Chain A
Amino acid sequence: MPHTLILGYGNTLRGDDGAGRAVAQRLREALIGPGFEILSLHQLTPELAQNLSQAGQAIFIDASASGRPGRYMRVPLHAAPACAQFTHQATPEALLAAARALYGRSPEATLYLIPGQDFETPDSLSKPVRLAVDQLVSHLTESLRTAAPQR
């Protein structure tokens, strides 16, 4: 059965940029089982296209430089190629396009964005972002435990 692929990504040495990885790491403890593949990544790379092609749904979690800190935003994703920049890093849309082009399919995908407050050099999250991380972890844990397809 196809599974749910969760990709939290960002730089944990740049303050709130690590929010997506914080969510992924928390979800690893909350969502255990063959129905979930949870990756905590520094950045998105092209070879993730293969993982995406095998998933039933994909959830990308990233920090955002825009928006009000203390909440999260949900953005539906569609495959959209990114040309010359698709090398050692990639956007979620480009990865979905690559999965479809290379392996014939791409999953339904959603991007959750967590607006950050401090992107300087602390290796911890700001208070409002910690709150948003808690909220998103609770939301995804609850919704995926009941709704995600099991492998």
Chain B
Amino acid sequence: MAQKKIVIDPVTRIEGHSKISIHLDEQGHVEEAYFHVTQFRGFEKFCEGRPFYEMPSLMARICGICPVSHLIASAKACDQILAVAIPPNAARLRKVLNLAQIVQSHALSFFYLSSPDLLMGMDSDPAARNVLGVAAAYPAMARDGVRLRQFGQSTIESLAGKRIHPAWVVPGGVSSPLTAESRDRILAQLPEMLTIATRTLDWFKSEMEKFREEIRSFANFPTLFMALVGENGGLEHYDGQMRFLDSGGKVIADYPGSSYAAHIAEIAHPWSYLKTSFYKPMGYPDGVYRVGPLARLNVIDSVDTPRASQEWAEFRELDRGPVLSSFYYHYARLVEILYGLEKMEQLLSEDDILDPLVRAHARVNNGEGIGVSEAPRGTLLHHYKVDRDGLITWSNLIIATGHNNAAMNRGVLQVARHFVHGNRLEEGMLNRVEAVIRSFDPCLSCSTHADGRLALEVELRNARGEVVDSCRTR
């Protein structure tokens, strides 16, 4: 048999444009597999020359799903350029906004993008394997998803004025304080949201046994993990130290975000616009690591909200060390939704949450600023340099999907080797190849710094490089 190549193009139910190619050897076994990101945006370059104070709003335009994450990382970088410590209530309000973003984004990923696989089955009719198929067959679950995302979006609107591309987070803090009416409206919805989060977690845990093969083969291998940790190693999404953990569970680095360049390096591959990050001291590919919900729950030592803490302890019992299967990203996302809701309740109940002092004003006092925060998909890093007039001269963005790129590629190879055999493409096996990518919940619009619509192509190529079969999502 001649060598062949399978191409999945476009990959569906993810954010952005990509394709997967699977190369077969002469016996029809999977030899190599690649996840190609086929869009290019170039935000790092075209922001040069803009005033630094425009950066949060400019960077929020990178993505319609996680604009808040970019706002926050960008504003934190700008805080450093101002050289100010922002008012405590500004930090508190940014944290609430970031958690609302995480809740709505995780709800989108779990209920809209991945629940069709989990509820309808990986081999079910692709015509019905979508969120409307879920709505028809499992309306209660679909309503939960809609409600949870609606809550996250409306909370963002209550705080920041609008749901998509808000401009409320600014260098030095936020532009206006929270009103008592908005606080009370958000708090009043939290009991219902906590019920939905708990119900969904209980359902997922009861269903995991059905996905034994996927758990075993979905990017289930040793890598490093990286995330922010708060005080005492606690779960943290806004501030704290960056931590690397090895696959045995040993902390190998705790360092401030400002020294990221000593720990993280990037390389580019000719087959993708998405750069690949790795842990610099170990080089590439030994320094491959994962970020995002799975990594966050792996690197931390504690969770400071009661129900999420219990769920985290149960989650960590899945493995003796770090939880390695990327299928469990879904599980980790649900634990984080619960945490986000509980933490919002804590923060919104603090006495000073209505404090009107929410912004520090200053001129340019530093030529450089680095902002790090946890976006829904993982650690987000914005690094800017400015001239004496505050105009951007250089910028670097390291996005969660870039941190995960090497692991996603390795995951595609693993799942393809497990499920793809011979030279004939079957929809169910290709869906599993896509689903391993979906478990990471990549955001390609963010990571290539496109117009947001995801499309996936899979190609099958022979030994001479000729396409012998392909499929494309519509």
- Residues on A close to B: CB < 8 A? 41-43, 45-47, 49-50, 81-89, 94, 97-98, 101-103
Contact = CB atoms under 8 A, between A and B. Distances in A.
A87 B113 contact: yes
Contacts of A85: 453
Interface string B405-432: 0000000000000000000000000000
A45 B112 CA distance: 11
22 contacts: A42-B64, A42-B163, A42-B164, A45-B163, A46-B112, A46-B146, A47-B153, A50-B146, A81-B132, A83-B132, A84-B473, A87-B13, A87-B131, A88-B64, A88-B112, A94-B132, A98-B131, A98-B135, A101-B135, A102-B139, A102-B143, A103-B143
Interface string B362-385: 000000000000000000000000
A43 B64 contact: yes
Given A84-B473, A87-B13, 15 more contacts: A42-B163, A42-B165, A47-B153, A50-B146, A50-B147, A84-B474, A85-B453, A86-B112, A86-B131, A86-B132, A89-B64, A89-B452, A98-B132, A102-B142, A102-B146
A89 B147 CA distance: 16
Contacts of A86: 112, 130-132
Given A84-B13, A85-B453, A101 B164 contact: no
A55 to B, nearest CB: 15
A81 B134 CA distance: 12
A42 B61 CA distance: 12
A88 B136 CA distance: 19
B162 A46 contact: no
B132 A97 contact: yes
Contacts of A87: 13, 108, 112-113, 131, 454
B130 A83 contact: yes
A97 to B, nearest CB: 7
B241 interface: no
B430 to A, nearest CB: 14
Interface residues of B, number: 32
Given A50-B146, A84-B130, A84-B473, A102 B135 contact: yes
A103 B453 CA distance: 27
Contacts of A81: 132
Contacts of A49: 146
Contacts of A46: 112, 131, 146, 149
Nearest to B152: A47
Nearest to A81: B132
Nearest to B108: A88
Contacts of A82: 132
Contacts of A84: 12-13, 130, 473-474
B150 interface: yes
A120 B437 CA distance: 34
B127 interface: yes
B457 interface: no
Contacts of A42: 64, 162-165
Contacts of A97: 132
A89 B113 CA distance: 12
A46 B104 CA distance: 12
A36 B265 CA distance: 54
B64 A101 contact: no
Most buried by B among A42, A85, A87: A87
A10 B153 CA distance: 18
A67 to B, nearest CB: 22
A47 B146 contact: yes
A89 B165 CA distance: 14
A94 B132 CA distance: 9
In the complex, the 5 A-B pairs of residues with the closest C-beta atoms, listed nearest first: A47-B150, A101-B135, A42-B164, A83-B130, A81-B132
Contacts of B453: 85
A50 B143 CA distance: 9
Nearest to B153: A47
A47 B152 CA distance: 11
Nearest to B456: A84
B453 to A, nearest CB: 7
B142 A50 contact: no
Contacts of B178: none
B352 to A, nearest CB: 31
A49 B473 CA distance: 25
A82 B127 CA distance: 10
A14 B65 CA distance: 19
Contacts of A103: 143
Contacts of A102: 135, 139, 142-143, 146
Contacts of A88: 15, 64-65, 108, 112, 452
Nearest to B113: A87
A104 B162 CA distance: 29
Contacts of A98: 131-132, 135, 146
Contacts of B452: 88-89
A91 B141 CA distance: 22
